[in-house]
A and B are shown apart, each in its own frame.
Chain A
């Protein structure tokens, strides 16, 4: 390991690579197969060995101007030509232009007798002649193991094979040999012991009724390589190996922002919407309006004259178009103008890899600005969890690399939407919108908020999300002392507040009236009291006058009567003295 990393550090020491031209394989092998050496491709029946070898030759001839020789031990030239023609390779044309030479080596075991010592110079001569006649740089031997069936003397055969591989190396051609997978070793006849430079293992596994092919670089002497199992596909353009993640993470990023078609949502995202080229996840339980938001997004993009590719795995295009009519969103003009393209497929139609490849192909063909996948989760029902995550990661990777804005809807079933989505989806989404249904008070309401939006200011508010025949409307949910209120409860709360205000206004008015009344009453009382007081004062004054008059009269009267009573007074004084004397006796 140390050795290989030291080697890759110094470019002078670096192993010369021969690019295969096969999509993805060169990424895994860090540049291609070892140049001037032999690579062993082994695997079970039907896993694509011959095809990989053929594509290596065809791409070499077409893309890298390296002619190649295909020595086949199993199929005739005609069979091989028609087999690879189904993958879009024009082998016949290449043969005519002397870019590729096909040589069918056929031995009928029943016709051959072995007698005494021999060698395989015949094969060498044929190979040598073939290589020299077109100046071949690449050689494929498919598959050498057929020799074991017709040449019983294994000792000679093995010695000759060893010589053959040495000879190929000396010849300086990059060779690919194929071999059937053995029960114990990598190959049935132990060919791997002769090929020590690069061994690629192909595998075709059925998982959950869906078959997926895998490729693994078992060994690559003197080079760094991806050691994992990589799924690969045989599509109508040949093999494509899909590295789970590309080796680098350096996509170009854009500062351009694009609107979502929902003004209020744009406002929640700092007023400008999402970044171009970002990946957006829209998750929610059934019936929360995911497709509607996605359709709005698509519609808005089309309005900007951008191309939108809509992958639908639940509804047919016609159905989506019809349904969107109900919210006043008209998509068919966009389809007619070629701005919007739908791709609908049943998720169970094929395996994940095939879906992914189809999507890649569609994307490459249509070259969209925006890609919508609705919903990504139904696509993820098949396959293991790591496969699913890997698939989404690859898709996002691919889209980001080509600056395509992507929106994925994700259907969640559990009440805990965040947790479920987080486990099901990889974390490399740039923005995450959450839609939720809230049940209560005998109704169901949609809530909506931005959970995550990388690199932009975004609102932390939970909003209510209304779908009407005029489209989407996002309104503030009522958040007060009694919690978050939505729907009719929100409306009721509004009415309640209005009523409260009205009643307090009325109360104030009443209080005012009361005060006024009290004041009037008080004033009246004061007035009465004052009148009383005045009456009393008048009376008092009158009495005072009467008293004055009477006193005067009294004084006069007394003076007069005093005169009259004087004698009586003298007599009365004497009488008490007598009494006192009498008692003394």
Chain B
């Protein structure tokens, strides 16, 4: 785990050195959330080593934050940077689809 914080404000206040800014919205520490986080980290480690930053937001603690990124389903990954914004919902078990969803294919 490179970064884990509940406050995206803290994440954004840092110099945005990393070109890839990802947010993972979860609901509590459920097995589903853990799976999603593990899957996401694995993919990022493989394809975006040292270029990414993941912010995990627990909606149980910060329900207001759900509105900002129009979160309906959990877990949800939102690619804030590079733009455009991309959203993937689910536990990210299908790596291929995550790569497509995050537009990582060209890098690979």
Contacts and interface: CB of A to CB of B under 8 A. Distances in A.
Interface of A: 103, 105-107, 111-123, 125-126, 128-129, 147, 151
B64 interface: yes
Contact of A122 (B32, B71, B91, B93): B71
A448 B7 CA distance: 88
A302 B65 CA distance: 66
Interface string B42-53: 000000000000
Nearest to B98: A115
Contacts of B27: 119, 121-122, 125
A115 B94 CA distance: 6
Nearest to B91: A116
Nearest to B63: A129
A115 B90 CA distance: 5
Interface string B14-40: 000000000001010000100010010
B95 to A, nearest CB: 9
Contact of B86 (A111, A129, A151): A111
A389 to B, nearest CB: 50
Contact of B92 (A107, A111, A115): A115
Contact of B90 (A107, A117, A122, A125): A117
A121 B59 contact: yes
A120 B85 CA distance: 20
Contacts, number: 96
B53 to A, nearest CB: 20
B100 A120 contact: no
A384 B63 CA distance: 54
Contact of B74 (A103, A105, A113, A119): A119
B12 interface: no
A70 to B, nearest CB: 14
A126 B63 contact: yes
Contacts of B93: 115-117
A232 B95 CA distance: 54
Given A111-B86, A112-B89, A119 B73 contact: yes
Contact of B32 (A105, A114, A117): A117
A111 B73 contact: no
A88 B92 CA distance: 47
Contacts of B74: 118-122
Interface in B41-88: 59-60, 63-64, 66-67, 70-76, 84-88
A531 B32 CA distance: 161
A147 B72 contact: yes
Contact of B64 (A107, A118, A129): A129
Nearest to B59: A125
Contact of A113 (B25, B71, B97): B97
A178 B31 CA distance: 34
A111 B85 contact: yes
A554 B67 CA distance: 180
Contact of B87 (A103, A111, A121, A129): A111
A114 B86 contact: no
A128 B93 CA distance: 28
B75 A118 contact: yes
Contacts of B63: 125-126, 128-129
Nearest to A157: B73
A200 B73 CA distance: 29
A115 B72 contact: no
10 contacts: A113-B89, A113-B98, A116-B90, A120-B74, A121-B74, A122-B27, A125-B59, A126-B72, A129-B63, A129-B66
A125 B57 CA distance: 13
A539 to B, nearest CB: 158
CB-based closest 3 A-B pairs:
A113-B101, A116-B90, A116-B93
Given A112-B89, A116-B94, A122-B27, A105 B72 contact: yes
Contacts of A106: 70
Contacts of A122: 25, 27, 59, 66, 71-74, 76
A111 B90 contact: no
A129 B71 CA distance: 13
B73 A126 contact: no
